[in-house]
Structures are given as structure tokens and as C-alpha cells.
């Protein structure tokens, strides 16, 4: 059996070698798998790429892919998935929080017959901001993409090659792995895995990046937001009609009643806000369709560095 390991890298100059070292240690200890490792630099602004370029000189079966600009974590993973040849493909983070030495747990779950095995953490070591974002993302994934409520989706997972072959058929920009996987299979399991503290630095997921990630998933793989906008518009219209009837009835019952300017303006502002929000949502969908039609690249590999042959 051959295992492919994919690691998207961004601002991980002080942590990524420790992860690579643990990967090699795992495979040297087991001695039953062929393996390959892909490190994908997502145009890190620090010294990460220079560190990555040195690693193939010291570690076997290692390939570094340098992207031409920052395409995002999921696009970087897609770049690695397009090169993977293993029977099982494993994705993990570059910060040392997802332990490579526990890969066997994921592999065993795949060997039980599951198509996907996601790591689930009993005690997450992410920041409060990241945990809140993860909970919101989980809730929205359940509502918009049909994810089972008891399934935990993480960045540390193993998948059968046939699933990966289907995933990489998606060539449009804005990839979202959770959406791609959920439309391919429901044979998915969770595996309890230890979650470690970050070795260095802080999470690179800002609020802006989290919003972009959610937008990628929910506009590329679901029309539910459009339906929500339609229902909201309908309810506001019904509310406006009821309010208008209320004013008319009260006008007949009390001819001297003053019609409140402030209440009228409030109603106008609410309805206009709903209209603008709905138009913005429709524009988001149309914009993504336009960019996809223009064949905007999902990722561009600028440079590839492979391990040097060992004597």
C-alpha cells in the first residue's frame, strides 16, 4: 500500500520541518508502506519557501510545490491532490497540531471500509476565535451542505484514492473540500486523535479568510442562501402588507390619527436592506459563475523541487 501525504504550507518556517521529521519517523517505524510527501507553499510572505527548498536535500520521497500567488488553503491542498498517487491520501496541517505519528489511526479506519476518515479532537488547542469560527462553519455546513450532525470535519483526514480522483475533477476556482467530499460519498467516519498546542506563532486564519472560505463553500455547492433570501423577501413583503392594512384600518377608525414618519422610514429602510442584501447575494453567485466561465486558475505551480536521490 502506498500513502500520499499532503501539507499546505503558509507562514510555517519554524514548524514545518518538525512535521516532515515526524512523517518520516512514522514510515520508518512502520516499514510496511510506500509513501510520498507533498509540501505546497501557498506563497508565504516569510521564509517558509526557502526552508521548504532545503528539506528535499535531507528527507526522502519529498516534493515541494511553490504556488505563484496566495490561492488559499483548499486550493493549495488541491495542488497536492493532483500530484498524489497513493492508495490512501492523508492531509494535515503544517503547524504541528495534527500529529503525523497518529496517522495509523486514520489508515486503520480506511481499512475498515470507510471512504473518508476525519480526525476528531477530544481537546482542541485552537484559539477561541478559531473555535468559534469552526462551530459556525459546522452549523452552516449541516444546514447548507447536508453534513450529518454527528460528523466532525477537520483539516486532518485520510481518503481513498477513488475519492481523490473524483475531487480533482473539480477544476473551477474557489474549491471547498468539505463540499466536494460530501457530494461524493457518505461513507465517512471520525477517529479520535490528539490535538497539540501550536509549536510557534498564531493561526493564519483571519476573520476575512474565514468569511472567504465560507463563501467558497456555500455559494459553490448550495443554492440554499438564495432560497433563504427569497423567503426573507417574502416574509418582509407580507409584514409590509399587514402593516399597511393596519394603518388603513386605523385611519378609518380614527381619521385624525397622525401617520408616523419615523415608522414609515423604518419600514422603507428594512425592505430596502433586504432587497440590497438579496441583490448582493445574487451578484456573488453571478460573479463566481463569470470568473469560472473565464477559466480562472484554481492554482498555479510556479516551481517544483524533488528529493535528491540518496546513495
**Weakest-pLDDT range from 70-74, 126-130, 230-234:** 126-130
Are 40 and 62 in contact by the 8 Å Cβ rule? The answer is no
Shared domain check, 230 and 139: no
Shared domain check, 182 and 276: no
Distance CA 74, CA 42 (A): 10
- CA distance readout (Å), 91 to 43, 70, 205, 255: 19, 19, 18, 71
Indicate whether 258 pLDDT > 80. no
pLDDT number for residue 45? 93
Shared domain check, 274 and 191: no
- What average pLDDT score do residues 196-225 get? 63
Q: Does residue 216 sit within a domain?
A: no
* Residue pointed to by grid coordinates 488559499: 72
- What average pLDDT score do residues 145-174 get? 91
Closest by CA position to 100, among listed 12, 19, 36, 189: 19
Q: Does residue 212 sit within a domain?
A: no
Shared domain check, 165 and 112: yes
User: At 242, is the pLDDT very low, low, confident or very high (cuts 50, 70, 90)?
Assistant: confident
Shared domain check, 199 and 161: yes
Shared domain check, 286 and 302: no
Shared domain check, 236 and 114: no
Specify whether the backbone of 72 is left (phi greater than 0), alpha (psi in -120 to 50) or beta.
Answer: left
Q: Does residue 98 sit within a domain?
A: yes
Shared domain check, 236 and 193: no
CATH number reported for the structural domain that contains residue 55 in this entry: 3.90.550.10
User: At 202, is the pLDDT very low, low, confident or very high (cuts 50, 70, 90)?
Assistant: low
Total number of domains in the chain: 2
pLDDT number for residue 292? 78
pLDDT in tens, 11-29: 999 999 999 999 999 999 9
Q: Does residue 210 sit within a domain?
A: no
- What average pLDDT score do residues 95-109 get? 93
Residue 14 structural domain: 2-205+298-306
pLDDT number for residue 215? 66
pLDDT in tens, 110-138: 999 999 999 998 766 555 555 566 666 66
Shared domain check, 249 and 194: no
User: At 48, is the pLDDT very low, low, confident or very high (cuts 50, 70, 90)?
Assistant: very high
Indicate whether 201 pLDDT > 80. no
Closest by CA position to 124, among listed 190, 197, 201: 197
Indicate whether 205 pLDDT > 70. no
Q: Does residue 249 sit within a domain?
A: yes
Q: Does residue 211 sit within a domain?
A: no
Give the percent of the chain with pLDDT over 90: 48
CB atoms within 10 A of CB 66: 22
User: At 218, is the pLDDT very low, low, confident or very high (cuts 50, 70, 90)?
Assistant: low
Shared domain check, 242 and 152: no
Shared domain check, 190 and 51: yes
Q: Which three cell numbers stand for residue 159?
A: 481518503
Task: Output phi, psi for 125, to 5 deg.
Answer: -110, 15
Shared domain check, 120 and 230: no
Task: Output phi, psi for 177, to 5 deg.
Answer: -60, -40
- What average pLDDT score do residues 82-87 get? 96
Give the percent of the chain with pLDDT over 70: 77
Amino acid at each position: 500500500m502506498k500513502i500520499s501525504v499532503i501539507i499546505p504550507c503558509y507562514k510555517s518556517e519554524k514548524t514545518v520541518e518538525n512535521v516532515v521529521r515526524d512523517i518520516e519517523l512514522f514510515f520508518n517505524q512502520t516499514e510496511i508502506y510506500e509513501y510520498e510527501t507533498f509540501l505546497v507553499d501557498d506563497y508565504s510572505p516569510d521564509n517558509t519557501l526557502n526552508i521548504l527548498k532545503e528539506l528535499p536535500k535531507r528527507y526522502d520521497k519529498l516534493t515541494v510545490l511553490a504556488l505563484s500567488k496566495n490561492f488559499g488553503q483548499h486550493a493549495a491542498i488541491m495542488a497536492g491532490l493532483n500530484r498524489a498517487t497513493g492508495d490512501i491520501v492523508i492531509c494535515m496541517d503544517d503547524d504541528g497540531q495534527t500529529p503525523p505519528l497518529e496517522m495509523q489511526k486514520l489508515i486503520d479506519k480506511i481499512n475498515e471500509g470507510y471512504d473518508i476518515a476525519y480526525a476528531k479532537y477530544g481537546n482542541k488547542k485552537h484559539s477561541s476565535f478559531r473555535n468559534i469560527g469552526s462551530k459556525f462553519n459546522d452549523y452552516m455546513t449541516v444546514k447548507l451542505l447536508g453534513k450529518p450532525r454527528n460528523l466532525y470535519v477537520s483539516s486532518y483526514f485520510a481518503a481513498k484514492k477513488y475519492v481523490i480522483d473524483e475531487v480533482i475533477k473539480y477544476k473551477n476556482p474557489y474549491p471547498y473540500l468539505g463540499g466536494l467530499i460530501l457530494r461524493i460519498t457518505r461513507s465517512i467516519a471520525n477517529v479520535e486523535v490528539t490535538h497539540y498546542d501550536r509549536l510557534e506563532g498564531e493561526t493564519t486564519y483571519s476573520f476575512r479568510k474565514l468569511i472567504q472560505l465560507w463563501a467558497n463553500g456555500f455559494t459553490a455547492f448550495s443554492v440554499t442562501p438564495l432560497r433563504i433570501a427569497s423567503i426573507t423577501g417574502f416574509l418582509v413583503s407580507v409584514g409590509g402588507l399587514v402593516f399597511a392594512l393596519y394603518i388603513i384600518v386605523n385611519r378609518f377608525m380614527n381619521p385624525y390619527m397622525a401617520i408616523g414618519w419615523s415608522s414609515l422610514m423604518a419600514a422603507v429602510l428594512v425592505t430596502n436592506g433586504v432587497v440590497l442584501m438579496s441583490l448582493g447575494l445574487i451578484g456573488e453567485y453571478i460573479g463566481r459563475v463569470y470568473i469560472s466561465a473565464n477559466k480562472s486558475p484554481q492554482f498555479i505551480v510556479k516551481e517544483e523541487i524533488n528529493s535528491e536521490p540518496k546513495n
